[in-house]
Amino acid sequence: MPIAHLDVDAFYASVAVRDRPELRGRPLVVAGSHRRSVVLTASYEARPFGIRSAMPLHQALERCAELVVVPPDMERYRAESKEIFALLRSRGHVLEPLSYDEAFLDLGDIAFDEAKSLVAIFRAEVRRERGLSISAGVACGKMIAKIASDLAKPDGLLAVEPGEERTFLAPLSVGRLWGVGPKTQARLNERGVVTIADILTLDEPTSIELFGSSWRRMRDFAMGIDRRVVSAASETKSISTEETFEYDVSDRRRLFELLLAQAGELAEDLRRENLWARTVGIKVKFSDFSLRVRQTSLREPTQSVKAIYRAARSCLERARIDGAPIRLLGTRVAALDDRASNQLSLFAPRH
């Protein structure tokens, strides 16, 4: 059955331009205001300057003197995402969100040409109703639909016909495959595996050496075989929040205050999503960019600010920072469960 991957183009930046038309056509990034902020999204007008997501803001400003910096508005993005996904669900199709701005859509048991026409209608509706453009890929597997939508950006639609998957994938960089990150790609390139087609030339021992126990799955992917289905019940695996300090912090009291604020933010997110957390963890990045991560499991799942804070504080104490200057501090909740409410004791804290 056909599957679509839909991705709003430069989501945060596009929302800013839609709401402030005077910014249209100008190089723009969405980023915080302090000196260690990073670019969350760059408009397509900013990208010819070499500006990309996750780039330090000061570098982006050095590359483009006319760059417009817009502060992020996460509540606005959440609300916009809900409106877009509601439009995509309006005909009863199964939607699997991946983030605020992208999702898979199961198009049902229809002809492939009909699937392409349906996705074109969805794209037009989002543009008309929300004022935003969507790039889309259509295929008979999730991975190829995702790759196709990436190649269709910006504001395009690319469909890979049934039976054409292997031909479509063959010349593409091996880094396009799911499960191949930058480090793995570099290692594969060193061994002469540059394109996806190169994977299919490997014998079994070499495949095992390069991909380990996942070698069969990677070979299937390279042939365009992907049997995963679109699932509306795709669970949120974790929720996190973090703060990069404008200046390094070593004051324990200030760090504990931030952990409390982050616990409050995460508890609010859990209640909003009707989820309970069984694991709490922290991430510490020091001034030399080294990382230290600690986590702990809870006796029972929680949505409690106090419980999250106590666990995060305990993790920070176990991290033994010993007054070292800290650049970033984050808190994460994981092992999330939407059925935990049935398991909570009568006197479990709820706020």
> Which phi and psi angles does 241 have, rounded to 5°?
-150, 150
> Given the structure tokens 């992020």, which residue do they identify?
72
Catalytic choice (83, 102, 125, 209): 102
Nearest by Cα to 222 from 203, 197, 247, 250? 197
pLDDT of residue 233: 64
Would you list the DSSP string of 20-41? -GGGTTS-EEEE-SSTT-BEEE
Q: Is the pLDDT of residue 348 over 80?
A: no
CB 104 within 8 A of CB 3: yes
Q: Which of 88, 83, 103, 98 is nearest to 18 (CA)?
A: 83
Query: Which residue's entry shows tokens 């390069």?
Result: 210
Cα–Cα distance measured from residue 53 to residue 57, given in angstroms and rounded to the nearest whole number: 10
User: What stretch(es) of the chain map to CATH 3.30.70.270?
Assistant: 3-9+75-165
CATH topology of domain 169-222: DNA polymerase; domain 1 (1.10.150)
Which H or E element spans position 89?
helix 74-89
Could you tell me whether strands 238-249 and 291-302 are parallel, antiparallel, or unpaired per DSSP bridges? unpaired
Give me the sign of the Cα torsion angle 115, 9, 270, 297: positive
For the segment 295-306, the average pLDDT, to the nearest whole number, is 92
The more confident residue out of 95 and 247 is 95
The per-residue pLDDT of the chain, averaged, comes to: 89
Q: How far apart are CA 159 and CA 334, in angstroms?
A: 36
Look up 243 and say whether it is catalytic.
no
Beta carbons within 8 Å of 163's beta carbon, 6+ residues apart = none
Type and span of the H or E element at 116: helix 112-130
pLDDT of residue 338: 61
Pick one of 3.30.1490.100, 3.40.50.720, 3.40.50.2000, 3.40.50.300 as the CATH number of 238-342.
3.30.1490.100
CA separation, residue 349 to residues 153, 197, 337 (Å): 47, 55, 17
The secondary structure element, H or E, covering residue 85 is: helix 74-89
First to last CA, the chain: 45
Mean pLDDT of 274-301: 90
- For residue 230, give the amino acid letter: V
**Model pLDDT, residue 244:** 82
Lowest mean pLDDT among 75-79, 281-285, 317-321, 342-346: 342-346
pLDDT at 53: 84
Q: For the purposes of burial, counting CB atoms within 10 Å of the CB of 290, is it exposed (0-12), middle (13-18) or buried (19 or more)? A: exposed
Share of the chain above pLDDT 70, in %: 95
CA-to-CA separations, 259 to 206, 243, 253, 267, in angstroms, rounded: 47, 10, 10, 12
Please answer whether residues 43 and 29 qualify as being in contact, where contact means their C-beta atoms are separated by less than 8 angstroms. yes
Domain with CATH 3.30.1490.100 in the chain: 238-342
For the four alpha carbons of 84, 88, 90 and 95, in that order, the dihedral sign comes to: negative
Q: What is the mean pLDDT of residues 312-336?
A: 91
Which CATH code for domain 11-73?
Answer: 3.40.1170.60
Among 119, 112, 229, 107, smallest CA distance to 160 is for 112
Give residue 341's pLDDT.
41
Q: Which residue intervals of the chain bear CATH 1.10.150.20?
A: 169-222
pLDDT of 322 reads: 86
pLDDT at residue 10 greater than cutoff 90? yes
Distances (CA, A) of 48 to 15, 24, 29, 62, 258: 20, 16, 13, 14, 37
Query: Options 3.40.190.10, 3.30.70.270, 3.40.50.2300, 1.20.120.1200; which CATH number does 3-9+75-165 get?
Result: 3.30.70.270
- Place 234 in a pLDDT band, splitting at 50, 70 and 90: low
Going by C-alpha positions, the residue among 287, 281, 279, 266 that lies closest to residue 318 is: 281
pTM for the model: 0.72
CA distance 211 to 217: 9
Which tens digits make up the pLDDT trace of 134-164? 999 999 999 999 999 999 999 999 999 999 9
